[in-house]
Amino acid sequence: MASIEQIIQREINPFDTVTFRTGNFWQEQQNSNLTVESIHRQELDRIIQVLDRVGSDHQTRTILLCGERGSGKSYLLSRLKKLLNYKAFFGYIGPWADSDRLWRHVLRYTVDSLTHSPENEQESQLLLWLKSLSALRDRATAKQLVSARGLFILNLRSTYPSGIYQPKDFFSSLYALINPQLNPLACDWLRGEDIDEEDLKLLAVKRPINTEDAAQNILSNFGKIATDTKPIVLCFDQLDKLALSPDGLSGLQPLFTINSTIHNEKLKNFLIIISLVTETWQENKKHLIQADLDRLDRQILLKDINLIQAETIWAKRLFPLHDRAIPQPKSAIYPLNTKTLEEEFPGGKTNPRDTLKLGRKLIQEYKIGISRETEPNKIEIPIVRETKSIANKITREIASDNIAAFKLIWKQEFTKTQQKVTQIKKFSSPGLIKMLQEALNALEIQGVTSNLLTSRSYKSYSLSYQRSPEEKVGIVWTEDANMATFFYVMLACQKAIERNLCQTLYLIRSEKLGNPKNKGYKLYQQVFVNSDHIHIIPELKSIYYLATYHSLVNAVCAGELVVGDTPPNIKQLESFIRDSQVLNDCPLIQKILNLKAPINREPVKEFLLNIIKTQQVMGLTTLIQTVCSHFSQISETRIEQLIQELSQENIIKILNEGIEKEAQLVFLIK
């Protein structure tokens, strides 16, 4: 039996910032126990009304969703998907690397999202969508069609006799979706992978979707036959990074052009939601074409929450601790109180993120014995009396605490990336080179510039940086499997070298290079074999590093990331990257920058220290369990040994040694 004071002291702060970043709303399941139903309920109902109209008349509509940083836009999209996945299919569309390939980007992200299975469903959204088509609803008929490709295609062509782009290829890919062996390849074709001739033959399709027109028309196909099915909700989120382009025009204009095209071409059954920070929208809308603005059917602004809702957020976070306490606290938000909310937010309004940040700060003060309460803090920690200056110490070392918090966020995000990225070709070639460019910028590499190649089709596959005043290094990244495309990229590389655009050229490619009969292979041999120019075969591990940083960049620009008590900007995030040195472990970065592999650090010990730095005080048992949940292969005995090492190094102090483990506390002293 433990009091609420003892439980707060032992447990991880329930408002810890590692726990309240939303991220990609589609791929990350939110904890419904933390949802406050009244927050943004009216805005949610307005979106549902629009979706119901789309489901009724099949007319595509567009909603602009705006809110201040920390207002909960991504969390609202998560709630929407969770509530309505039974009546709509959902797609997440993130920021793009190249506006010249935006249709292909939208198609890729749409199909990627549709390959995910909704909650409580065994099959993907894409298969559920396919099986909901009228031509396949009758089970007996569907069984016949699935057994014969020709009959399947004939039936779909007769059901949808006009307006379908490349109907034979499109319906052949749909037929391949039903075959477990061909399903991944069919998904690759539908998402616009530039697949090679052998794979095209397996799918019985003539050509890949490798142009903007083709991508637009394939997306149109979904719309033209979608009146048979539930609506498709396309959510454009985390777009704030695009902001304004260098020429003063809106970086969002290509998206609004696409939105108008979808309306003008009368694509059916789409609900498009464009989510933006209010400041980003105000800066960009004055640069957008008025005709495109007129295509917005509804604008929804997320308002601040009231203090009753803020109090409910606190209560939801504290409930798991209260539920274990004996006696039960009299207030649902103890040891916090309404008076503090009123003092911090005198206008009676706040937003979810600031509410969580305040809760974290107050609980952290309470954990270490610095209470704002007028009555004496019930928590007694002997070590506080020993150090005396603990409050000053925390303020003085806030930067190092932020680094510890960042490393924990990085580890969490890295683990998520490992789970959802299973192959390099999940990302387009322009997307991969863009992620690499972001990483090089964070490491303050000099002269990083995009578009080394002069070919319009493949310039977005490349970048360059200045290794020294005399040496410019070029990098080209291509993962397109199609050998014709590979030839043209190699031709562009050859021209870049002939024009002395760089002194050293790196080719990054994990896909095959072809065979001696291929023109692309022959050019590759001339440029990258027995020369100063280098071919690097990237590991999936490198993609984890680049994609993790990319997701954090998007989160920062959308105002969704908090490190410690700080919502960092890009410059601060880059500083965290350098100070933490997390990118130094990326094999690809090591090869490109000729970095030596870093000295091996014991990850468990580092994780232990970061947890203690961010919590200051916690229970020994809780600390061990937390580490075990992140490092399942490490024994509890080994974790205890590492804790003892930190104690012997005078970094932490273990209180109440000699009594039962559950009552022992670990406290940061340096």
3-state secondary structure of 237: coil
Do 324 and 392 reside in the same domain of the chain?
Answer: yes
- Looking at the structure, tell me whether residues 368 and 414 fall in a common domain: no
Residues 56-82: what's their mean pLDDT?
91
Give the lowest-confidence range in 6-15, 305-314, 381-390, 456-465.
Answer: 381-390
- 357, 406: one domain: no
Q: Is the pLDDT of residue 520 over 70?
A: yes
Work out the average pLDDT over 625-639. 90
pTM: 0.91
For residue 444 the two structure tokens come to 């303050």
* CB-CB contact of 506 with 474 (8 Å): yes
| 133-153 pLDDT per residue, tens | 766 666 555 566 556 777 888
Is 250 part of any domain?
no
Instruction: Tell me the average pLDDT across 445-467.
Output: 94
pLDDT in tens, 76-109: 998 899 889 888 999 999 999 888 899 999 999 9
Q: How confident is the model at residue 394 (pLDDT cuts 50, 70, 90)?
A: very low
Split at pLDDT 50, 70, 90, the class of 538 is very high
Q: Cβ distance 42 to 308 under 8 Å?
A: no
Q: Do 524 and 448 share a structural domain? A: yes
Calpha distance 650→665 (Å, rounded): 15
State residue 268's pLDDT score: 86
pLDDT at site 245: 60
Give me the long-range contacts of 566-569 (CB less than 8 A, separation at least 24): 566/402, 567/69, 567/70, 567/353
How high is the pLDDT of residue 390? Answer: 42
Helix (H) or strand (E) holding 277: strand 270-277
- Considering the domain architecture, whether residues 458 and 547 belong to the same structural domain is answered as no
From 404, 519, 528, select the one nearest 474 (Cα to Cα): 528
User: For residue 431, which of 93, 141, 160 has the smallest C-alpha distance?
Assistant: 93
Confidence of residue 243 (pLDDT cuts 50, 70, 90): low
Please indicate, yes or no, whether residues 380 and 459 belong to a single structural domain of this protein: no
Percent of the chain with pLDDT over 70: 89
At 370 the pLDDT is 57
Q: At what angle do helices 620-630 and 636-648 cross, to 10 degrees?
A: 120
> What is the C-alpha to C-alpha distance for residues 282 and 262, in angstroms, rounded to an integer?
24
Question: Which distant-in-sequence residues (6+ apart) come within 8 Å of 131 by Cβ?
Answer: 123, 137, 142
Beta bridge partners of 301: 66
629 burial via Cβ count (<10 Å: 0-12, 13-18, 19+): exposed
Would you place residue 602 in the very low, low, confident or very high pLDDT band (cuts 50, 70, 90)? confident
Distance CA 656, CA 664 (A): 5
Query: Residue 469 is part of which domain span?
Result: 427-538
Residue 520 lies in a domain: yes
Q: Is residue 190 part of a domain?
A: no
Q: Same domain, yes or no, for 463 and 489?
A: yes
Query: Is there a contact between 528 and 507 (Cβ–Cβ < 8 Å)?
Result: yes
Tell me: do 504 and 547 sit in the same domain: no
Residue type, 642: L
Q: Name the 3-class secondary structure at 29.
A: coil
618 bridge partner residues:
666
Of 501, 400, 496, the residue nearest 455 (C-alpha): 496
Q: What does 331-372 look like in DSSP terms, one character per residue?
A: STTTTS-HHHHHHH-TTSEE-HHHHHHHHHHHHHHHHTT---
Q: CATH no. for residue 488?
A: 3.40.1340
| Total residues belonging to the chain | 670
d(CA 324, CA 520): 66
Q: First vs last Cα of the chain: how many Å apart?
A: 31
pLDDT given at position 375? 43
Does the residue 639 lie in any domain? yes
- 632 in a structural domain: yes
Does residue 612 lie in a domain region?
Answer: yes
* pLDDT tens by residue, 112-136: 999 988 888 888 998 888 888 766 6
Question: Residue 322 is which amino acid?
Answer: H
Number of domains in the chain: 4
Count Cβ atoms within 10 A of the Cβ of residue 663 and give its class: 0-12 exposed, 13-18 middle, 19 or more buried: middle
User: To 10 degrees, what angle do helices 620-630 and 603-615 make?
Assistant: 130
Same domain flag for 622 and 638: yes
Q: What is the pLDDT of residue 663?
A: 86
Tens digits of residue pLDDT in 355-391: 999 999 999 888 887 554 434 444 444 444 443 344 4
Question: Is the CB of residue 536 less than 8 Å from the CB of residue 492?
Answer: no
**From CA 261, how far away is CA 289, in angstroms rounded?**
13
Is the confidence at residue 600, as pLDDT, over 50? yes
Instruction: Give the residue, 246 or 405, on which the prediction is more confident.
Output: 405
pLDDT value of position 121: 85
- What string of DSSP letters covers 55-98? HHH-B-EEEEEEE-TTS-HHHHHHHHHHHHTTT-EEEEE---S-
pLDDT at 583 over 90: yes
Tell me: do 649 and 582 sit in the same domain: no
Quote the distance between the C-alpha of residue 371 and its chain's center. Answer: 37
Structural domain includes residue 458:
yes
Q: Which of 498, 520, 538 is the last residue of a domain?
A: 538
* Residue 239 in domain: no
Are 583 and 632 within one domain? no
Is the predicted pLDDT of residue 667 greater than 60, yes or no? Answer: yes
CATH of the domain at 654: 1.10.10.10
Residues 521 and 461 in one domain: yes
List all residues 6 or more positions away from 142 whose beta carbon is below 8 Å from its beta carbon: 131, 136
